[in-house]
Amino acid sequence: MARPAVSGWESVFGFPDDPTPGDAEVLGELARSYRSVADNAGDALPLVSGLENQQVGEGKSMDKLRDKLGDLANKYASCTAPTTPVRDSSYLPGTT
C-alpha cells in the first residue's frame, strides 16, 4: 500500500499530519540490515548448536570452549526468530 500524501492523513486517519514521520529508504536499509544479521546468525546456529550439544569436538580444550560459549546457541536462535516477519515482509520499501 502506498503512503498517502501528507494532506491525505487527515482524510484517511483523522490526523493533521503524518503520524509516522521518517525516511522510507532508511527504513528499507534497516530492514535489509536486520535480514542480513538474521541470515548470518541462522548460518552459524547449526555449528554453535553442535558445539553446545557436544556433537563436535572433544577434550579439555573443547570443554573450555563450550564453557566460554555459554548459551550462545540460544542467543543465535533468538536472533533469527524475531526478525522472520521483517525478513519475509514485502510491505517495507526496498525489501522485495
> Can you tell me the distance from the alpha carbon of 63 to that of 71, in angstroms, rounded to the nearest whole number?
14
User: What is the structure's pLDDT at 69?
Assistant: 83
What contacts 71, CB < 8 A, 6 or more positions away?
A: 52
Whether 3 maps to a domain, the answer reads: no
Whether 15 maps to a domain, the answer reads: no
| Banded model confidence at residue 5, pLDDT cuts 50, 70, 90 | low
Whether 73 maps to a domain, the answer reads: yes
- CA-based nearest residue to 39, from 90, 93, 88, 96: 88
User: What is the structure's pLDDT at 95?
Assistant: 47
Has residue 4 got a pLDDT over 50? yes
User: What is the structure's pLDDT at 24?
Assistant: 77
Whether 16 maps to a domain, the answer reads: no
Round to the nearest angstrom and report the end-to-end CA distance of the chain: 14
Residue 69 structural domain = 23-86
Whether 2 maps to a domain, the answer reads: no
Average pLDDT over residues 15-29: 77
What's the number of domains the chain is made of?
1
Whether 62 maps to a domain, the answer reads: yes
Average pLDDT over residues 61-82: 82
Q: Which residue has the higher pLDDT, 41 or 91?
A: 41
Whether 33 maps to a domain, the answer reads: yes
